[in-house]
Amino acid sequence: ELGPVYGYQWRNFDGFGRHFGTDQITWLINEIRTNPDSRRLILSAWNPNQLSQMALPPCHTLAQFRVINGSLSCQLYQRSADMFLGVPFNIASYALLTCIIARICDLKVADFVWTGGDVHIYSNHMEQVKLQLERTPRSLPTLQMPNFKTLEDVLNSGVSDYVLNDYEPMDNIKAPMAV
C-alpha cells in the first residue's frame, strides 16, 4: 500500500475520507478542450498536505501539457530519477498517458520531454547498466489503441485493446529494486 500517491492524487487531489478532492484528469481534459492555449495544463502528484501518508513521496511529480497546432505535447519533471529501473517505465507510462489524452481530446501527439532533478544510477545496478549500454537500439514500435471519446471509454478498455506494432523486445535485464 503506497498511500495517497500518483493515481490517487490525479483523481482525488487533497481528498481524504469521505471528502472528495479535485479530479485532475477530468479537469485537464476539460481544460485542454475548452482552453487549449493555456500554459496551466498541469497534472501534479506532489501534494505536501499528504506526503506523510505516502510510503514514498512521488518521484515523477509534475507533467505539463501543451497544445500547439492541434497536437499535444507533455513535459514530465521527475524530482528523483532511478535511470535504470524507474525512468524507462515512467517515460513509457507518461507517453501512453499523453497518447490517451490526445485521443480523448481529438488531437495529434507531438513531443514528450523528460526532465530529471536528482538523476542517479544505484551502485547495485552498474553491471546491468553496462550490459544495457552494449546493446544496439532497435526500431521503435507504433501504438495502436481504441478511438476514445471520453475518460469512461478509457476506464472500460482492457490491456488487449492496446497493441504495440513492430515491437521487438530484447531479453530483460534483472536488477534488484533500490529505495
pTM greater than 0.75 (yes/no):
yes
How is residue 125 written as a grid cell?
A: 545496478
The catalytically annotated residue of 59, 74, 99, 105 is: 59
Please report the pLDDT score of residue 14 as a whole number.
Answer: 86
* pLDDT confidence bin for 179, thresholds 50/70/90: low
**What's the maximum distance between 2 C-alpha atoms anywhere in the chain?**
52
* Cβ atoms < 10 Å from Cβ of 133: 7
Q: Would you call 105 a catalytic residue per the annotation? A: no
75-101 average pLDDT score: 97
Q: What's at 7, amino acid-wise?
A: G
pLDDT in tens, 109-131: 999 999 999 999 999 999 999 99
83, 128 contact by CB (below 8 A): no
pLDDT (average), residues 34-60? 96
Whether residue 18 is predicted with pLDDT greater than 70 in this model: the reply is: no
Taking the CB of residue 161, how many other CB atoms lie within 10 A of it? 13
Q: Which three cell numbers stand for residue 112?
A: 514528450
CA dist., res. 136 & res. 15, Å (int): 46
pLDDT in tens, 56-65: 999 999 999 9
